[in-house]
Amino acid sequence: MIKLPDKVIRLFEGKNFANIATLMPDGSPQVTTVWVDYKEGYILVNTAEGRVKDRNVRRDPRVAISIESAENPYIRASVMGKVVEVTHDGAEDHIDALAMKYMGKERYPWRAPGERRVIMKIAPNRVYTNPD
C-alpha cells in the first residue's frame, strides 16, 4: 500500500464523483460512477451487497479509480489498488455520511427494501496524477 499525495487525498475528501473499474468474470472491465471517501490511508466505496461491483471485487479484488475535481476537471488522479476488506460494519452510517457530503441530506434517500450496504476498503498501490 502507498500513501497518496495530499492533493489526491483532497480529491477523495471533496465532493467529487469517482469512477471505479472492476473486472467481470471474463476479464472485461466494468465501470461505475460512485461516491467516495478517504479514511486512514484507504479509499472507501459504499455499495449494496450483490451489485455487480460487489460481486466482482469478491472474486477479483483489483480495482482502478479515476477522480477529478468538480470545480476543475484538469485536477485529477487515477489510482490502482486492491479491495482488502468488504464489510457491513458501519456501512449504513457511512452511506448516510456520503449522502450528507454529496447531497446535503441526513439519510441516503434511495435505500431499497431488504438492501444490505457494504463498504469496500481499497488499499492504493499506484497513483497517477497531473503535475502541479
pTM of the entire structure? Answer: 0.96
pLDDT band for 64, please (50, 70, 90 cuts).
very high
- Give the rounded distance of the alpha carbon of 108 from its chain centre: 16
- The 10 Å Cβ neighbour count of residue 1 is 12
List the chain domain ranges.
6-129
Mean pLDDT, to the nearest integer, of 96-122? 97
User: Of the candidates 53, 41, 46, 51, which has an alpha carbon nearest to the alpha carbon of residue 87?
Assistant: 46
Reduced to 3 states (helix: H, G, I; strand: E, B; else coil), residue 12 is helix
pLDDT band for 131, please (50, 70, 90 cuts).
confident
Task: Read off φ and ψ for residue 27, nearest 5 degrees.
Answer: 90, -5
Pick the CATH number of 6-129 from 3.40.190.10, 1.10.10.60, 2.30.110.10, 3.40.50.1970: 2.30.110.10
Mean pLDDT, to the nearest integer, of 88-99? 98
Give 1-40 pLDDT, tens digit per residue.
999 999 999 999 999 999 999 999 999 999 999 999 999 9
Residue 130: the pLDDT is 86
Reduced to 3 states (helix: H, G, I; strand: E, B; else coil), residue 121 is strand
Sheet containing strand 62-68, strands side by side: 29-34, 18-23, 62-68, 76-87, 117-129, 42-48, 36-39
